[in-house]
Structure 1
Amino acid sequence: MRYFLPSKRLGFLLLALLLCGFALNFFMQAASLNMDAMSVFSWIGEYYWLYLAGGLFFFFLLLVFSMILPSVYAGSAVAAVLCIVLGIVDYKKLSTTGEPLFPWDLMLLKNAGEMSHITKGMIPPLALAAAVLLIAAVVWLLFKLPKIKVSLPLRMLFAALSVAMITGFVSMVAHQSSLAVSMKYQNIFWNQKVNYKQNGLLFAFAGNLRQSLIEEPEGYSRRAIEEIAAKYSKLPDPVPNVQATQQPNILFMMDEAFFDPTRLPGLSFSEDPLKFIHEEESATPSGFLLSPEFGGNTANIEFEALTGMSMYFLNDGSIPYQQKIVKMSSLPSIVSILKERGYRALALHPYDETFYNRNRVYPILGFDAFTSEKDLDNAGRITPEGYISDKAAVQEALRELKASSDPAFLHLVTMQNHFPFTKGHNGPNTISVEGTSPSYKDELETYTQNTKLTDEALAYLQQELLTLDRPTIAVFWGDHLPALSAGIYTDAGWDSEPRLKHETKLVMLANFNIGKEPLNTLSPAFLGPTVFRLSGQPMPPYYKLLGKVQDEMPGLSKQVLIGSNGALTAFTPEQQQLLDDYRMVEYDLLEGENYSQDLLF
């Protein structure tokens, strides 16, 4: 039994770990409250049981690390650093994209090298220097503290107890047990900002470990899906703009962080950065895309565009690529629809193929081939530090279209305009921007230069489309607004204008006549039906359903609702029925029994 007797030094260590646990919980909650200490104290006053339980969780986490690693000090220090890093990531993600840290975000750890390049410039040099000094001080302290020897049996006892407590905590929160409820915990999955603010980072993060994408709608059954399929199968195809004599190529070009900077009020530009787009948009179908995201989560816009499913129905904070699709064997999409019609399906992304699990998701959606950065050794970059340029990506897309003897659907996701917006990242800035504060001038001019390069790439694309033998339609849109400094949008008065912070450019180009109807503002889920109609493609029943929803609610997102006549504040009974049908089919495809695949596609 003497092996289990703790020493006085060990007692002091346990007390220190307990205090550190409560300090860590304080810091983690501060990360979800804009690092405002007074807000944390107010939260503790109302949710003291959540704070106490969280403090004990971190105590046991520190304890298990200190018992597993040879040095009790080093073990607890490693655990503390990991927690602090997660808190900082949560704070930075909230401040740039408006969303907290989710469990599925950790899947991007496998792309740590690329992430360091993408996020370059987000952490100030002074903060990095302070972190280095702090780590050095901790290492020095570890060597100076008195040694504590813990016998192996006692280590195993403490470790087993800690693992049991941590596992029990996660299970309690994930299953929302009566004990968790008695502590005032509530899994507010439909509003993750409130979820993290009210429950704290720890409880909200643990509660999301078992979160599904979408809740089962009332009345879900095979019969319900059959009735929906019968209803929309009877609808006639919309009258096409053209009678296609040959199956056209279809090119989707989703451009990273692209929007029209000239929409920002109060600014003047030495020249129009979007000369081609502004001249062309009146002669071709164009408008705005209503992005369901701001500043990030590109995969969610891509998910809507390829599958026709809407993020509107999914639980707040969802990323379908990482949470669900990667685990599936197949999922109907515009890719699978066109493949059944003899198309070759190609994906092109001039960056790391594993981001958002694209290398695993694309085959599930039906793509035949995926060209990524590793396949583009000689692709052009404007500077050695920059991403592969939009023009180089367009050139590769055109090469693949020309090489296909079959009609092709090619989905291109660019990278040129991704953060950081550091001066010189894509060469010298050639457009000056006036009307902004000096602290934002370089950033705005750099981003504006990026959009000018994209505009030039699009002009090049239109020119080259005319050289293709097969009819080809290209759909260009920005995935979301860039994560510029928040003050830029505040100065523009856009903080209270969610529609403006979610509208990106949408332009369709072709080498045959597709008309010039205005597209107004459109959610990405409706791009498939729109391009089918413009290019004379017959509609599957699923697209007829989407077409009906689009007629009534062309802009469908949690942030903004747009009806056929402008902003939408309430649904009519007919609109609600359309949404109920849409939700039922989306649930069936993502979480249900997949009856829709045979009935609606």
Structure 2
Amino acid sequence: MKDKLKYIYLLLLVGFINFLLILFQLKQIAEFESRIDTMLYFSMFVSVFSVTIISVLLSKFDLINILKKILIFYLIDVFYSWFITISKNINNPDFNLLLAFKNHFIQYNIFSVFLLIFLLAYFIKIIKNDKIRFNSIILHNFGDTSKHLEILLLSSIFLNDKLLLNNLLTYFVTQFKNTNLTAFLFLLFFLNLSILLILSYFVRTLLCSWIELKNNQGGANLTFISSLTLATLFNYVIQIPFRYDNDALGNHLFNGAVAFQIIFLFLLYFLIYLIINRYLIGTAVIVFLGITLGVVNSLKLSMRNEPVLVTDIIWLKQLKLLFSFVNQNYLILTVFSILLVINLILVLHKKFLTGKIYESRSIRLIFISLILLSYTFMFSIFARIKDHKINNNIPLLSKLNNGLNLDYLGFKTNATYKSLTYVWTRQLTTKIIEKPENYNEDTIKSIYKKYVEAAGEINKSRSNSISKQTVIFILSESYSNPRKITGTDISYDPTQNINKLMTQTTSGQMKSDGYGGGTANMEFQALTGLPYYNYSSTVSTLYTEVVPRLKKFTSVSEYFENKIVIHPSAASNYNRFNVYNQLNFDRLIFQSGSSEKFKKDEKIGLNTSDQAVYDTILDNIDENEYQFFSVITMQNHAPWSEWSPTELTSFNPTFSEDTNDSLQSYVRLLYHTDIATNDFLESLKQIEQDVTVVFYGDHLPGFYPNYAFNDNPSNQYLTDYFIWSNHQTNKLDYEVVNSSDFIAELFEHTNSKVSPFYALLTDVLKNSSVNQKKLSKNQKIIADDLKMIQYDISLGKGYILKYEDFFSID
């Protein structure tokens, strides 16, 4: 009998035993209680035959050695399955770690069969089985198959694991429960054999990896097992910062989240091993990257309530800025540890687990290509997403993506319940904006005509031109009213001047799209009037993901001849240098990365003071020209540390000591912002030329704990804004606006004529902005008009660009 036929025969023998155990498990499902009895009896009969044959074969082997391996593999399965269960219950507050271990440790399914097989094998062994004709025939035909049988028996341990078996049956029954019973059972048996084959490969790899380890060789098998082990470990490390003792609409973690992330990381780690082709160095790189990602992810979540995203790679260009957010002692310790580990690895890899993982370059290239193809296939599935859903028949991915749509809840929530790598995958594959229904040239033309007429009506009652004055947009970093936070006690109002001003001029609350971060997105919307909410929720940074694809990068600044940007930070942050050049700004004044540098660098706290920024504006105002200033401050940016005025104190009894320290420093920094802003506006009153200031906080500081917003969740995303003019007093009543509404509000505040596009933004401001709880039919039409134009200039055909006057003011 040929070796392949022998193996197939053994596979069927072991397969029937496993099939019987699966049927016992299936029988516990109510709808299959009696329907499978006939197949159950038949399987029992065949399994008795299988057990007999296997026992005869085992009787010639070293039973003690095989039993040792079974015990070792059983323990490997128990601990691995237990760790996966921990990962799946990371957000479950009722999860009992010890009880889960007990449940995983006590798995009787396969051991009752193993006990029978080994008792029978031992009995046959002591009665000299080779004297029995039946036994001698079996041993003659299968005597050299010990290794195959051993691997199949070890594979059965993994196949009968509770976690794998339950998930397998749940998926299979869901997919094929309406199939004819005979066909259903045949498919189940075939699936059983297929899984057994796959697991036998895994067991063989595990055994070979142990041999490589004993031989001090970092080979392909050890690399495979290490990739899987590290992927499982770092899946947990990555997700632990997201731990949240609550569910999302009944889900503590979505089905498939753990498996998807482990597969994603396994492929990535195996790819790293293949590229480096040295086991110890590859392991060191993977561990370094895994720990770094875990730490950075935790830091970013604590500071900005947002996970590490694919687009964050641009921050590698600003390492100095990144390091400024980290405690210097920790940073020194980390760098020292990394250097120590690198040196240790360089010494060890010459003596331990030496040699190349793959000697053949062609084999390496084949595996690298297969991994890249796997990622391509995965990304292509998500690239074809429609209405937030992918094809329903794709195992794992369909369950993970198609259940509940959490896109609207943001990156953190999706990473918490669907995994961080799921967020990365969606970010890499999702279109920046969905194509609206009825998008075509005729629709755009009708919108154009509608708002040309609307602009004409608006301009009948307006007499001013926005370009005949100086306009200053000030994005005040992290500016918000701390008194809105429940339980916060402050000795006196740190922003009394601005609060008083807000009662006298156009002012209100701005809805931020981020908590603790998202500055560039607020800035983009304020300048362009294009709201973030119309873009895909997977878009992280509008400047880097959207701007490069815009067919028309419109901005309120284009109506001014003299345009200046002032920001005491790096010009390369969020691609600002290129963005402002694209908008034809005449002068760029940054801390670094621009030809004209920020000269005033007086600090309050740890960052450049607001007073220094305001002084820079005043130094650059030319009363003989009409100018546009785009200004971003940094004084209230993290980290927060300020000691004066000492009499200004704050405290929240529910906060930790560290959080209260940050709160107190932040409140004192706001005091300095308030004084500097009041003095700045007083200086502007002395200028004869008309000047209008649009002042807004981009987001709340990121030190508040999530529970601080339990009483009023909307407060987490509401900051303060005002629009003020030096020679007029005007107060418009818009209680809550989006940052994209500022342009329309500015034009109304200054009684300035509008373009057809700004007539559209005015209609949105008045009818369908973020302050509207539920849109009427007419309000929805206005909102859809803006989304249609936004799509047209983002991913569409650019039909509106045929009408040059749509963006111009008569």
CA contact (8 A) 2:479 2:699 kept: yes
State the Cα distance separating 1:369 from its structure 2 match: 2.2
Q: Which residue in 1 is equivalent to 2:722?
A: 507
Give the counterpart of 1:263 among 473, 476, 484: 484
Cα 1:17–1:131 change in 2 (3 A) is: farther
Cα 1:525–1:45 change in 2 (3 A) is: closer
* CA radius of gyration, larger in: 2
Give the counterpart of 1:218 among 433, 437, 443: 437
* 1:169-208 to 2 correspondences below 5 Å: 169-176=374-381, 181-185=394-398, 190-191=407-408, 192-193=411-412, 195-208=414-427
TM-score, scaled relative to structure 2: 0.64
Q: Which residue in 2 is equivalent to 1:63?
A: 273
State the Cα distance separating 1:532 from its structure 2 match: 1.1
Q: Distance in 2 between matches of 1:51 and 1:466?
A: 58
Q: Distance in 1 between matches of 2:335 and 2:360?
A: 31
Q: Distance in 2 between matches of 1:218 and 1:520?
A: 32
Q: Distance in 1 between matches of 2:257 and 2:464?
A: 64
State the Cα distance separating 1:306 from its structure 2 match: 0.6
Secondary structure of the residue that 2:435 maps to in structure 1?
A: coil
CA contact (8 A) 1:66 1:74 kept: yes
Q: Distance in 2 between matches of 1:37 and 1:234?
A: 52
CA contact (8 A) 2:550 2:793 kept: no
The farther-off stretch of 161-170 and 582-591 is 161-170
> Is 1:479 aligned with 2:684?
no
State the Cα distance separating 1:414 from its structure 2 match: 0.9
Amino acid at match of 2:788: M
Q: Which residue in 1 is equivalent to 2:738?
A: 523
> Is 1:361 aligned with 2:583?
no
Cα 1:59–1:500 change in 2 (3 A) is: closer
Larger proportion of helix: 2
Once the two structures are superposed, what CA deviation does each residue of 1:409-438 show, in whole Å capped at 9, x if it has no partner? 1110111110001345xx665511144356
Q: Which residue in 2 is equivalent to 1:165?
A: 370
Amino acid at match of 1:62: I
For structure 1, list consecutive stretches of 5 or more residues without a partner in the other structure.
Answer: 1-5, 557-561
State the Cα distance separating 1:120 from its structure 2 match: 2.6
* 1:15-94 to 2 correspondences below 5 Å: 15=222, 18-34=225-241, 46=256, 49-50=259-260, 53-54=263-264, 56-67=266-277, 71-94=278-301
Q: Which residue in 2 is equivalent to 1:394?
A: 614
RCO comparison, higher one (Cα < 8 Å, 6+) = 1
Secondary structure of the residue that 1:283 maps to in structure 2?
A: coil
For structure 2, list consecutive stretches of 5 or more residues without a partner in the other structure.
Answer: 1-210, 247-251, 383-390
Give the counterpart of 1:294 among 512, 515, 519: 515
State the Cα distance separating 1:84 from its structure 2 match: 3.0
Q: Distance in 2 between matches of 1:331 and 1:586?
A: 11
The farther-off stretch of 151-160 and 517-526 is 151-160
Once the two structures are superposed, what CA deviation does each residue of 1:22-53 show, in whole Å capped at 9, x if it has no partner? 333442354235365999xx869755652553
Amino acid at match of 1:389: S
Cα 1:193–1:441 change in 2 (3 A) is: closer
CA contact (8 A) 2:261 2:421 kept: no
Superposed CA RMSD in Å reads: 3.4
Cα 1:244–1:182 change in 2 (3 A) is: closer
Q: Which residue in 2 is equivalent to 1:3?
A: none
State the Cα distance separating 1:320 from its structure 2 match: 1.5
Q: Distance in 1 between matches of 2:301 and 2:606?
A: 26
> Is 1:412 aligned with 2:631?
yes
State the Cα distance separating 1:77 from its structure 2 match: 1.0
Secondary structure of the residue that 1:372 maps to in structure 2?
A: strand
* 1:413-452 to 2 correspondences below 5 Å: 413-424=632-643, 429-436=646-653, 437=655, 439=657, 440-452=659-671
Secondary structure of the residue that 1:508 maps to in structure 2?
A: strand
Percent identity of equivalent pairs? 21
Cα 1:377–1:225 change in 2 (3 A) is: closer
CA contact (8 A) 1:18 1:59 kept: no
> Is 1:460 aligned with 2:666?
no
Cα 1:346–1:459 change in 2 (3 A) is: same
Q: Distance in 1 between matches of 2:777 and 2:701?
A: 37
Give the counterpart of 1:105 among 289, 312, 329: 312
Q: Distance in 2 between matches of 1:183 and 1:438?
A: 41
Q: Distance in 2 between matches of 1:278 and 1:242?
A: 30
Once the two structures are superposed, what CA deviation does each residue of 1:440-481 show, in whole Å capped at 9, x if it has no partner? 332111000111111111111111111212110111110111
Q: Distance in 2 between matches of 1:37 and 1:65?
A: 37
State the Cα distance separating 1:181 from its structure 2 match: 2.8
State the Cα distance separating 1:175 from its structure 2 match: 0.6
